[in-house]
Amino acid sequence: METILVINAGSSSVKFQLFELTASAGPRRLVKGQMAGIGTRPRLHAETHDGASLIEKSFSADEIASVAAATAAVGQWLQETQKFTPVAVGHRVVHGGPHYSRPTIVDRDVLDQLERYCSLAPLHQPNNLAPIHALLEHRPGLVQVACFDTAFHRTHDPVADHYALPERFYREGVRRYGFHGLSYEYIASRLRDVAPDLAKGKTIVAHLGSGASMCALGAGRSVDSTMGFTALDGLPMGTRAGQIDPGVILYMLTEKGLGAAEIQDLLYHDSGLKGMSGVSNDMRELEASTAAGAALAIDYFVYRIGLFAGMLAAALGGLDGFVFTAGIGENSVLIRARVAEKLAWLGAALDTAANQSGAVLISQPQSRVKLHVIPTDEELMIAQHTLSLLKVPA
């Protein structure tokens, strides 16, 4: 059986999925799991495609001290217990910079190029690349494919990609890239089945999770996004501030005496919902909290979603639909209801019962803007892209 392994590596976890290469139906998910708590309390969890548990195992912090060690442990477990040796590995890589607009087979030259973008996505890029490094060293003959979160947004018009800076900066790569592209690409493909009219129309997709952004889709193509040069821009997130006046950064530098590393740490790790609430970066905890800071953080999150919805509707020249996806978007009844209120001026009318029951369509029949909840599947997109680059029977 020929399989593809998909790896989505973060700072403290490695998520993985194994797909069988089928003759006609595309990649078929066999196993999904993650090694969480890397370096602190590592734990390997995996299950079959239908949710049956395969392993729950804890490790010492010394055993799994790095993303590379986690990748090796996952690979060893798959080989020994599942008897699957993948013919290729697909990786989520957050930043493709100006050079990579489509999935790419990785060699050392490509990897060296991708290393240059680590400063643009310091929370993600180094960890995304760590398993690639490890596999190039230990399995140099194994095909590895990098799938970029920025690639889907390369259809933007130049006016949407530019900052109002001297053109030399744009040529150097300082531009509005947009992120969560694998998620948006999947939702665009699902809309063709779930809501064919929206697939051809003007839709905003809200990827609301610990990382959060929104994308304007025109006939399934990315027209604009709330994120820009880095994954700091746009909506407030779990620990990231979102859109902020650059003068605040200058103030921190000149008046507060903070260094670049301190400011980076503040903006990436101690801001957003966590910083504003003083309680947590987890929306579930904020919704359950009675703290004034928690309420303020939720209000701000919803308010900014509403503001950016207006911006993206303007980019599209109207709005036919709005899609909620990712952890908060798929699971928070409250946030969906609050956001729907912000969209009422655009013609959205929420069906409260449908929203509470977890339906796919949660707008009322007369709603001019259709509201949908569609779970995302970035790993499937990676598997499909990896398969498309393989020269093997499928």
Q: By C-alpha distance, which of 152, 208, 159 is closest to 185?
A: 152
The C-alpha R_g of the chain, in whole angstroms, comes to 21
Is 120's pLDDT higher than 80? Answer: yes
- For residue 377, how many C-alpha atoms fall within 13 Å in the half-sphere facing its CB? 16
Q: Residue 334, SS3? A: helix
> Other C-beta atoms within 10 Å of 358: how many?
11
As a whole-number percent, the residues of the chain with pLDDT over 70 amount to 98
Name the more confident of 60 and 391: 60
For the CA atoms of 57, 60, 65, 69, the dihedral, rounded to the nearest 10 degrees, stands at -40
End-to-end CA distance of the chain: 11
Is 392's pLDDT higher than 60? Answer: no
Kind plus residue range of the DSSP H or E element containing 48: strand 43-48
Q: Residue 216, SS3? A: strand
Q: Which amino acid is at 164?
A: A
Q: Which two tokens stand for residue 356?
A: 């509470």
What are the residues facing 205 on neighbouring strands? 215, 323
pLDDT at 229: 93
Is 233's pLDDT higher than 90? Answer: yes
The predicted-structure confidence for 236-247, as pLDDT tens digits, reads as follows 999 999 999 999
- For residue 278, how many C-alpha atoms fall within 13 Å in the half-sphere facing its CB? 6
Instruction: Enumerate residues 6+ apart whose C-beta is below 8 A from 150.
Output: 94, 95, 96, 97, 100, 177, 178, 179, 181
Q: Are 316 and 221 in contact (CB under 8 A)?
A: no
pLDDT at 394: 43
Note every long-range contact of 62-66, with CB atoms under 8 Å and residues 24 or more positions apart, other chains counting. 64/35, 64/38, 64/39, 65/38, 65/39, 66/38, 66/39, 66/130
Is 83's pLDDT higher than 90? Answer: no
Name the more confident of 25 and 252: 252
What are the residues facing 224 on neighbouring strands? 216
Euclidean distance between CA atoms 177 and 187, whole angstroms:
19
The predicted-structure confidence for 33-76, as pLDDT tens digits, reads as follows 989 888 888 999 999 988 899 999 999 989 998 888 888 898 88
**Sign of CA pseudo-dihedral 28, 219, 326, 266:** positive
Euclidean distance between CA atoms 81 and 228, whole angstroms:
43
193 included as an active-site residue? no
Is 164's pLDDT higher than 90? Answer: yes
Kind plus residue range of the DSSP H or E element containing 5: strand 3-9
- CB-based burial label for 392 (10 Å; 0-12, 13-18, 19+): exposed
Residue 310 φ/ψ, nearest 5 degrees: -65, -40
Q: Spell out the alpha helix ranges (H) of the chain.
A: 67-77, 108-115, 125-138, 158-161, 167-172, 181-194, 196-199, 246-254, 260-269, 272-277, 283-288, 292-316, 326-331, 333-342, 352-357, 378-389
The predicted-structure confidence for 352-363, as pLDDT tens digits, reads as follows 999 999 999 999
Q: Are 179 and 213 in contact (CB under 8 A)?
A: yes
pLDDT at 52: 93
Buried b (16+ CB within 10 A) or exposed e, 63-97: ebeebbbbbbbbbebbeeebebebbbbbbbbbbbb
pLDDT at 391: 61
Residue of 149, 233, 320, 377 marked active site: 149
The predicted-structure confidence for 190-213, as pLDDT tens digits, reads as follows 999 999 999 999 999 999 998 999
| Averaged pLDDT of the chain | 93
Q: By C-alpha distance, which of 103, 100, 194, 182 is closest to 143?
A: 103
The CA distances from residue 382 to 163, 178, 388, in Å, are 30, 18, 10
The CA distances from residue 89 to 101, 164, 363, in Å, are 19, 39, 39
Band (pLDDT 50/70/90 cuts) for residue 393 is very low
